[in-house]
Amino acid sequence: MKFGFAVLLFLLVAPSIHAQASVTITSEPNAIVWIDEIRRGTTDTSGKLTLTKVSAGRHSVRVRANGFKEASAALLPGRRALAVKLLPTTDPAELKFQEAEVAREKARDDPSLQNAAELYREAIKLRSAFPAAQVGLARVLMSLNEFKDAHAAIDAARRTRPTYAEASAVEGRIYREEAFDDDAIRSFRRSIREGAGVQPEAYVGMAKVWEDKGQFAEAIVEYKKALGQLSDSEPVIYQMLGAAYERVEKPKEAVTAYEKYLELAPNGSYAAAIRSILTQLKREAAGEQIIP
């Protein structure tokens, strides 16, 4: 066949468009790293974060560390290392926003959530056009069941940044908490469009809505889309996927999902419960395999 050997050679030596490789990001110690707006982890005390699964192609990297001005850089195809230099900041709005983000991540009860909300409001007073702070505030207000104010924060974020995938994903979550499933679906779909198809938070949100409706097969599809974009950075989604497979009576698939969770989070909050049911699920899976 004409060009047959050349085509075969190309297939043997050319990298797959789905190939993944490790990439090391270097910046300040304890800096948060996003790739294509997906949070991928935090640098260690030496300022390094090695990611083992980064797809081929060009990526946008964003880095934030307390006390520094946030910075973005391009990770070019073929690069296996990227240094992102952060400059110290004295911007009071930025510093207050960083304080609010830390408070929100540590919050475990209503008083600590209220404290985080107040810190976000202080940041917004210092910088009126601050969409990231508005979205952070909306997340806190949603956790406090203050849904009307949470929607107002999302609307304020959009006035400054009309196309904002994260804001739309959070809006979808607020609607779901209010049991407005159709509105939630519209917001999640908008988030996915705004993120050009890359928005795992919205895919997980869609999955939860389908579960609310009892449509677990549809939920499984959305969970798998999210996992395909998160590169194993959120083990809890494997637990959610395993539970959905149980609901559609697919024990073999449930076992695979649960075992992946245990691989990634052996001491996670769901680990003990999963281990307690795996033996029975494996028996069911073995029985499923021998059914003609």
Over residues 16-49, the pLDDT tens digits come to 335 678 899 999 999 999 998 888 899 999 999 9
Please answer whether residues 62 and 33 qualify as being in contact, where contact means their C-beta atoms are separated by less than 8 angstroms: yes
Average pLDDT over residues 213-224: 97
Report residue 274's pLDDT band, with 50, 70 and 90 as the boundaries. very high
pLDDT value of position 288: 54
pLDDT value of position 235: 92
Please answer whether residues 251 and 245 qualify as being in contact, where contact means their C-beta atoms are separated by less than 8 angstroms: yes
65/30 Cα distance (integer angstroms)? 7
- Hey, which residues does 176 pair with through a beta bridge? none
Cα angle for residues 121, 124, 128 (degrees, 5° grid): 150
126/24 Cα distance (integer angstroms)? 35
Residues whose CB is less than 8 angstroms from the CB of residue 147 and which lie 6 or more positions away in sequence, other chains included: 141, 174, 177, 178
- Hey, which residues does 51 pair with through a beta bridge? 23
Q: Which two tokens stand for residue 249?
A: 């009576």
Please answer whether residues 236 and 261 qualify as being in contact, where contact means their C-beta atoms are separated by less than 8 angstroms: yes
Task: Give residue limits of the domains in the chain.
Answer: 18-83, 232-292
Q: What is the CATH number of domain 232-292?
A: 1.20.58
| pLDDT tens-digit series, residues 157-200 | 999 999 999 999 999 999 999 999 999 999 999 999 999 999 99
User: Which of 249, 256, 260, 238 lies closest to 287 in space, CA to CA?
Assistant: 249
Contacts 24+ apart (CB under 8 A), 135-138: 135/164, 135/166, 135/167, 135/170, 136/97, 136/100, 136/101, 136/104, 137/100, 138/167, 138/170, 138/171, 138/174
User: In what side-by-side order are the strands of the sheet with 71-75?
Assistant: 38-42, 32-35, 59-64, 71-75
Report residue 253's pLDDT band, with 50, 70 and 90 as the boundaries. very high
pLDDT value of position 37: 87
**pLDDT surpassing 60 at residue 7:** no
Same fold for the pair 18-83 and 232-292: no
**pLDDT surpassing 70 at residue 99:** yes
Q: Which CATH architecture has domain 18-83?
A: Sandwich (2.60)
258/69 Cα distance (integer angstroms)? 39
